[in-house]
Amino acid sequence: MCSIIGYTGKFTAASVLVESLKKMEYRGYDSVGIATLDSNNILIRKGVGKVREVDDSLQLYKMPGQVGIGHTRWATHGGISKSNAHPHTDCDNNVVVVHNGIIDNYQQLKDNLIKQGHIFQSQTDSEVIAHLIETYLKKFDIKQAIIETCKQIHGTYAFVAIFKSGLVAGARLDEPLIIGIGNNGNFISSDVLGFLEYTDKAIFLDNYDIVILDDKNINLFDFNGNAISRPITQVAWELGDIDKGKYAHYTIKEIHEQKNSIPMAFQINRSSLEKTVDIISSSKNIFITGSGTSYHSALLAKYLFYKFAKIRTEIIMSSEFEYVSGALDENSLLIAISQSGETADVLNSVKIAKQHKAKILSIVNISTSSLCRLSDHYVSINSGPEIGVAATKSFTAQLAVIYSIIDNFCTNNRPLDMSTSMFSNILNEILTDTSYLEKIAEDLKSVRDIYILGTSYHYPIALEGALKIKELAYIHAEGIAAGEIKHGPLALIEPGTIVIVLNPEDETYYNVLNSIHQMKSRGAKIIGISNKNNDLYDYFIRLPLVNKYLYPIIEIIPIQILSYYLAIKNNANPDYPRNLAKSVTVK
């Protein structure tokens, strides 16, 4: 997924664009580029690397002009190179474009354009947009040229183009594109973080919307060229949330923010909770979907729905959904879990479920996202901007919301027998001194494999912990249901193999000890995470004593911190893990 920003106004565009791209870099960071309009010339500078690196080497901020567009790329079609970096121009440098999404039919479009004499400079799919606009500008005005271009594209797109006239145009289909209305100019961006420093007034474009703007006017059109209007939304987040403050990285800042974000997530708006419970009660069968970390939240929900509400749910990984969606019908409910609300696999699942007339309930962090617009109802996890690519506070906030929903659903068998305000004290205890986790990271930093075991509702946490270690520290990690170790994975255990075991004192405790014995006798090194120490552990990570059903929310935190320290010790950048992006808005 990429980040796009366009600006037209009183300021020098380049410096505005560079700062905006830095704030959105978590969306993709293989290469960077900026184009500005200076007098009647379109200037372009672009290169491989992060914004700061490319800005230092090419002095992006010095580019003249008050109209411009910028882009950070997460490569899909075409390798990571200067020529494949955005922006891309047409043949005569009259129009320049930045794009987020995938153009499925780009090769056919490109072949046709080459036959018409167009010269391409990249291997990207995105470049075809510039040449299509060029073609249609020979017959139509900018608005119609944009519409005709969109009609040719099969796939997903959010693109912004600037022209020598100084106008800025944009269009979207299944990729976010947001207008920022500022006092000193207007913005068009893939993320509110791109303009939040200048304005909190935003227009969230819908699919098939076309926009043409300058520093004073914003004109929206539908696919037939008719003028349309969209509401102006005041974006709630304070800019302060996206500053690292005293922390070295967003990731560790957001891990520590959990002492506030978890209690906050438990405070769901009463009417929203009642509507959620009604929707669940009126559904005959419940499916839950998500990707990555959000899929792990879905798995935990399965255990909780069964244990406390005696409701059977079916969990389907979003990327697998289209292959097993036949069971949904008008009596079904699909619960879609997504931090960003823009993950293509999740949105695709929701669209398929709606084709089967299922109801959609979503659990999201960004309440202005596409997923919210597609849902019959959504519950916000309220954890504020999560900049670190690895999901941390959004995961535990998702869990808190799931617990709250089930707690309100099971009036006579509630899992939450404690005031959740106690959570802040408990989390303070875990987050205050993490030096012992840094020492463990020092011992583990060069290992090749780490296994994480958990049983029952600790198993999703084992999977999530393994994902954190993989994506932050680039160490192979595998989550395993503790009881399964003897059915094969035990063959991997040899003297010194590192095994983290989630083993608080609950109904899984003794079964998990059995699994630990089986590994210990084969030389494994055990890192026990529990409220109670045991001689079997080579390392012990203490958990505060809590209501035993709530351990899943807190036991992931030491693993998040351990993964962060492992990243640092392996010289990985925890905020921008290689090859990844914060929200994968492409399939």
Which residues are at the interface with ligand AGP (CB under 6 A)? Answer: 291-294, 338-340, 343, 346, 389-391, 467, 471, 583-584
CB of 467 to ligand AGP, least distance (A): 6
CB of 341 to ligand AGP, least distance (A): 7
CB of 231 to ligand AGP, least distance (A): 24
Nearer Cβ to ligand AGP (124/339): 339
Neighbouring CB atoms inside 10 A of 508's CB total 22
Neighbouring CB atoms inside 10 A of 41's CB total 11
> Where do runs of H (alpha helix) occur along 71-155?
106-115, 127-137, 142-152
Residue 397 three-state SS: helix
Q: Helix 142-152 and helix 127-137: axis angle, to 10°? A: 130
Nearer Cβ to ligand AGP (132/467): 467
Nearer Cβ to ligand AGP (46/468): 468
Neighbouring CB atoms inside 10 A of 184's CB total 12
Nearer Cβ to ligand AGP (1/426): 1
Pairing of strands 285-290, 332-338: parallel
Cα separation, 162 vs 243, whole angstroms: 30
Tell me if residue 2 is catalytic.
yes
Place of tokens 């075409």: 78
For the chain, the C-alpha Rg in angstroms (whole number) is: 25
Q: Please tell me which residue in 82, 253, 582, 587 is annotated as part of the active site.
A: 582
Residue 198 three-state SS: coil
Nearer Cβ to ligand AGP (280/581): 581
CB of 472 to ligand AGP, least distance (A): 8
Nearer Cβ to ligand AGP (87/384): 384
CB of 447 to ligand AGP, least distance (A): 21
Query: Where would I find the beta strands (DSSP E) of 91-249?
Result: 95-100, 157-163, 168-173, 178-182, 185-189, 201-204, 210-213, 218-221, 227-228, 233-234
The answer to whether the beta carbons of residues 4 and 21 sit under 8 Å apart is no
CB of 556 to ligand AGP, least distance (A): 11
Nearer Cβ to ligand AGP (294/348): 294
Tell me if residue 582 is catalytic.
yes
DSSP 535: T
Cα separation, 302 vs 400, whole angstroms: 14
Residue 214 structure tokens: 């300058």
b/e string for 404-441 if b means 16 or more Cβ within 10 A?
bbbbbbbeeeebbeeebeebeebbeebbeebeebeebb
Q: Please tell me which residue in 2, 150, 372, 410 is annotated as part of the active site.
A: 2
CB of 214 to ligand AGP, least distance (A): 33
Cα separation, 251 vs 173, whole angstroms: 31
Place of tokens 């200067």: 82
Catalytic residue IDs: 2, 582
